[in-house]
Chains A and B, each alone.
Chain A
Amino acid sequence: MANQTPAVVMDNGTGFSKLGFAGNDSPSFVFPTAIATKGPTAGASGSGSGRPAVANKPSFLTGGAGPTGHLSMKRGTEDLDFFIGDEAISAASGPGYGLHYPIRHGQVENWDHMERFWSNSIFKYLRVEPEDHHFLLTEPPLNPPENRENTAEIFFESFNCAGLYIAVQAVLALAASWTSSKVTDRSLTGTVIDSGDGVTHVIPVAEGYVIGSSIKSIPIAGRDITYFVQSLLRDRGEPDSSLKTAQEIKEEYCYVSPDIVNEFAKYDRDRSRFMKHVVAQPGGRQVTVDVGYERFLAPEIFFNPEIYSSDFLTPLPVVVDGVIQSSPIDVRRGLYKNIVLSGGSTLYKDFGRRLQRDIKQLVDARIRQSEVRSGGAKSGGLEVQVITHKRQRHGPWFGGSLLGQTPEFRSYCHTKAEYQEYGPGIVRRFALLGGPGGS
């Protein structure tokens, strides 16, 4: 009976953590990866990196009374006095608690906080006994193996979890795309475009392995779109141009247009395309904000970054094409054929269609050129396909849920016995879940 417990799937991202059980179609909990502890915030301590501030002198030289009041100096139950997730945000707005984000740029920076964050997510939110469950965790591409080892130490030494599997988010995002009707063969080859709040990654994956040297990231993601919408609202002098309003407008009205010039003309012909957004302000007042060209202009910064940024000017389709061109030649066809979207900033209507068209144009232009150069040889053409599916928002989590419920998942996990036999280095390698020979 105990073997029937569903696996726990945890996707801890920079901004949000997605927790749940394998087999479900959506995460049970989605909350900020934040922890509120007693004491000043990380920002106030000056380090800014979220690391525990290192005392100027080792504690045994200062007589054990370090100036920072670190947890290790405490002898009571201070280590249990903390909140995570949404509760942390509300606790930190009051006095006495400082807010910390243990994950920076996808990687765990503060293991003390992360360990307690996990402890609370397991016992308070998921309410599971870790000894009874297998765990599937995610990691960003190019995560140093030391981080994996640290994670394994915590999960095996502290929590005694029954089994652990650490998967790369991009691979899980590929697995999540198997739900789309366009995907016929369940291959783990493809290009993942993962666009969250902070940064957008383009990650080529061949047979379940990330091609690390070809990964490119783009400094344009959800937050930038929000800022862009906000600046448009400010330019027009709308009555409410807060970040929250901008975000609501972004999520509710924005879509990707096939061609901006045509779209402008359409808006001028048809006034009904202009929308009104009602904002309830604190104090019960309601104001109406006009929503105009930003409906299609905002996501356009992926395709024409010059309208927003002066530093980064390469459009997303060009980046994707470049990534695939820099990958080994024998997988390029598979990478073009299976471009998978993941993350909240890829949810705009027609985002996939536009991306597919633009990449196709780039590819076709190149093929024509080489046909001309070769003097009469004909190319069979190249299939470019961008996959959009319903689970994009929590793509990596859903992929984890999908793979975690397969019967062979448990055999892919490392168990505590194996960990004790080989040491933490065992988690540097995992058998490929869902790969050839899998389901």
Chain B
Amino acid sequence: MLLLDYQNVLIQSVLTERFSGAPPVSIDQTVSDFDGVTFHISTPEAKTRIMVSLQIRCFQELLRYGAEDVLNREYGPYVVAPEPGYDFSIVVDLENLPADKEARDELVKKISLLKRNAMAGPFEQAYQEHYHLKAEAAKFTSEEAPQGVREGGAVKAIHYREEEAIYVKASHDRVTVIFSTIFREETDRVFGKVFIQEFVDARRRAIQNAPQVLFRNDPPLELQGVPGVKNTGTGEIGYVTFVLFPRHLTPQRMPDVISHIQTFRDYFHYHIKASKAYIHSRMRRRTADFLQVLRRARPDNEEKERKTASGRTFKVGS
């Protein structure tokens, strides 16, 4: 498994089972996802009406950046008033499902992507801004472009974790996505550095089409003046910048790019942990080898005389 899935496997499996015509049962499950997202699958009113609720840290920010449009577009007819304690809820009526199987699978897929779609709002908005700015910029040559066009749109900050945030900024020729990352563990920071270096170098080596990746320990220039960005000067927080070029910004590529970039942090952490597992496996292997050498080095049992209680001697060993 190189890439993480975008959808929530549990929601997918629960709904697939329910939609396949199994007898309705009451469900009440709390499910976690990455980044402190909590889902609640329940059947509050009747066994045939499944409610899926989402709770996400940065929902207010997401709403400000157009998450509502995306969610309404994706889940239009299913949206209901959010369950208390949660930010967004949809209800699916089992008696009112699409008739053919493909449409049902489509619906399951869509619901299991709830978190992805909620987070997609700011990115989609940035895309729209980029298209708009591009059209504006086309009217001018690069020198005489007015201030607003050259600078690009405002920075959208999504504080999706307590200490970490994603910043999205659109300009006329690119969209910049900046992740602030923080590591609680010294070891992880070292691993993380190696990983990000690989990302930075990837473009130089083989993959010309990859977005440009930059890594630094102080806030990049794009984030100057954004509230909440502090330059601690200690280098604890790393900033990973992805620069998406027009190649990545076509409407056809949009859904994929958004899905990929959202899972970056989890992907990153998953691979740090997987490499640790790999190193552990090599360490165990090496220990087993050393133990074998030790076992071999043990001298064979020498013949020695032993005495019985009555004083007679006999020989032991071969």
Give the interface segment out of A39-47, A50-58, A258-266, A354-362: A50-58
CA distance A133 to B2 in the complex (A): 23
* With known contacts A1-B57, A71-B278, A123–B32 Cβ distance under 8 A: no
Q: Given A6-B32, A133-B32: A160 and B185 within 8 A (CB)?
A: yes
Q: How far is the CA of A116 from the CA of B277 in the complex (A)?
A: 7
Residue among A29, A111, A120, A130 making CB contact with B10, cutoff 8 Å:
A29
Q: Is B292 an interface residue (CB 8 A)?
A: yes
CB-CB nearest in chain B for A123 = B270
Q: How far is the CB of A117 from chain B (nearest CB, A)?
A: 10
A199 at interface, CB cutoff 8 A: no
Q: Looking across the interface, which residue of chain A has its beta carbon closest to that of B7?
A: A127
Q: Taking the complex as formed, is B80 at the interface, i.e. its CB lies under 8 A from any CB of chain A? A: no
Distance in Å from the Cβ of A106 to the closest Cβ of chain B? 21
Q: B34 touching A129 by the CB < 8 A rule? A: yes
Q: Assess the A128–B289 pair: CB atoms within 8 A.
A: no
Closest to A115 in B: B277
Question: Of B9, B30, B36, B276, which is within 8 A of A125 by CB?
Answer: B9
Most buried by B among A8, A59, A127, A128: A127
Q: How far is the CB of B294 from chain A (nearest CB, A)?
A: 10
A127 near B188: Cβ-Cβ < 8 Å:
no
Is A159 an interface position by the 8 A CB rule? yes
Asked if A129 and B35 sit within 8 Å, CB to CB, the answer is yes
Give the nearest-CB partner of A159 in chain B: B273
The answer to the question of A333 belonging to the interface, with a C-beta cut-off of 8 Å to chain B, is no
Instruction: Report the minimum CB–CB distance from B26 to chain A (whole Å).
Output: 10
Per a CB cutoff under 8 Å, which of A54, A128, A131 touches B32?
A128
Is A21 a contact of B281 with CB atoms below 8 Å? no
Total A-B pairs, Cβ < 8 A: 121
The A133-169 residues at the B interface (CB cut-off 8 A) are: 133, 154, 157-160
Could you tell me the distance in whole angstroms from the C-beta of A398 to the nearest C-beta in chain B? 13
* Chain B residues within 8 Å of A82, by CB: 1
* Cα distance A126–B5 in the bound complex, in angstroms: 11
Interface string of A102-133 (1 = CB under 8 A from B): 00000000011001100110011111111111
Binds B, one of A72-80, A292-300, A302-310: A72-80
B 303-314 to A, binary, CB cutoff 8 A, 1 in contact else 0: 000000000000
Inter-chain CA distance A2–B55, complex, in Å, is 12
User: A23: CB under 8 A from chain B?
Assistant: yes
**Cβ of A80 and Cβ of B288 under 8 Å apart?**
no
Contact for B184 among A24, A123, A126, A131, CB less than 8 A: A131
Of residues 28 to 59 in B, which have CB atoms within 8 Å of A's CB atoms? 28-36, 38, 57
> Which residues 57-80 in B have Cβ within 8 Å of A in the complex?
57
Question: What is the bound-complex CA distance between A157 and B281, given in angstroms?
Answer: 13
Partner of B1, one of A8, A24, A80: A80
State the Cβ distance, B180 to closest chain A Cβ, in Å.
Answer: 16
B203 contacts chain A at the CB level, 8 A cutoff: no
A286 at the interface (CB under 8 A from B): no
Could you say which residues of chain B place their CB within 8 Å of the CB of A411? none
Q: Are B280 and A21 in contact (CB under 8 A)?
A: no
Q: Which residues does chain B contribute within 8 Å of A90, judged by CB atoms?
A: none
Residue A70, interface by CB 8 Å: yes
Q: Does A25 contact B (CB under 8 A)?
A: yes
Are B2 and A1 in contact, CB atoms less than 8 angstroms apart? Answer: no
Write out, one digit per residue, whether chain A residues 74-108 have a CB within 8 A of any chain B CB (1) or not (0).
00010110100000000000000000000000000
Q: Which residues of A contact B281 (CB under 8 A)?
A: 71-72, 79, 112, 115
Residue of B nearest to A131 (CB): B184
In the assembled complex, the CB of A203 is this many whole angstroms from the nearest CB of chain B, namely 30
Given known A52-B288, A79-B277, contact A126–B32 (CB-CB < 8 A): yes
Instruction: Decide: A129 and B274 in contact? CB cutoff 8 A.
Output: no
CA distance A265 to B266 in the complex (A): 64
Q: How far is the CB of A417 from chain B (nearest CB, A)?
A: 10
Tell me whether B32 and A127 are in contact (CB under 8 A). yes
Contact partners of B2 in chain A: CB under 8 A: 77, 80
Nearest chain A CB to B280's CB is how many angstroms away? 6
Contact between chains at B285 and A158 (CB < 8 Å):
no
- B97 is an interface residue with CB less than 8 A from chain A: no
CB <8 Å contact, A28 and B10: yes
Judge if B171 is at the interface, Cβ distance under 8 Å.
no
Report if B4 contacts A (CB, 8 A).
yes
Q: How far apart are the CA atoms of A55 and B293 in the complex, in Å?
A: 11
Which residues from chain B contact A157 at a C-beta distance below 8 Å?
276, 280
Contact A55:B33 (CB < 8 A) given known A71-B281, A79-B277? no
Contacts of B256 in A (CB 8 A): none
Inter-chain CA distance A23–B42, complex, in Å, is 14
Q: Is A314 an interface residue (CB 8 A)?
A: no
Min distance, Cβ A223 to any Cβ of chain B, angstroms: 27
B292 touches A112 (CB 8 A): no
From A162, which residue of chain B is reached at the shortest CB distance? Answer: B184
Query: Is there an interface contact between A111 and B284, defined as CB atoms closer than 8 Å?
Result: yes
**Residues in chain B near residue A120, CB distance under 8 A:** 1
A397 to chain B, nearest CB (A): 14
In the complex, A60 has a CB within 8 A of chain B? yes
* A439 at interface by CB-CB < 8 Å: no
CA distance A2 to B163 in the complex (A): 11
Question: Which chain B residues border A26 with CB–CB below 8 Å?
Answer: 29
B269: Cβ under 8 A from any A Cβ: yes
In the bound complex, residues from chain A placing their C-beta under 8 Å from that of B269 are 129, 131
A209 CB to closest chain B CB (Å) equals: 31
Q: Tell me the complex Cα distance, A25–B41, Å.
A: 13
Q: How far is the CA of A130 from the CA of B266 in the complex (A)?
A: 11
Per the bound structure, the CA–CA distance linking A130 and B32 in Å amounts to: 11
* Closest 10 A/B residue pairs (Cβ): A58-B289, A72-B282, A72-B285, A112-B281, A79-B278, A158-B276, A115-B277, A123-B270, A127-B33, A128-B32
Q: Please report B residues at the A interface, Cβ cutoff 8 Å.
A: 1-2, 4-5, 8-10, 13, 28-36, 38, 57, 161-162, 184-185, 188, 266, 269-270, 273-274, 276-278, 280-282, 284-286, 288-290, 292-293
Residues of chain A whose beta carbon lies under 8 Å from any beta carbon of chain B: 1-2, 5-6, 8, 21, 23-26, 28-29, 52, 54-55, 58-60, 70-72, 77, 79-80, 82, 111-112, 115-116, 119-120, 123-133, 154, 157-160
13 new A-B contacts at CB < 8 Å, known A24-B28, A28-B29, A160-B188: A6-B30, A8-B32, A21-B31, A52-B288, A54-B292, A55-B289, A58-B293, A71-B281, A72-B282, A124-B5, A130-B273, A157-B280, A158-B276
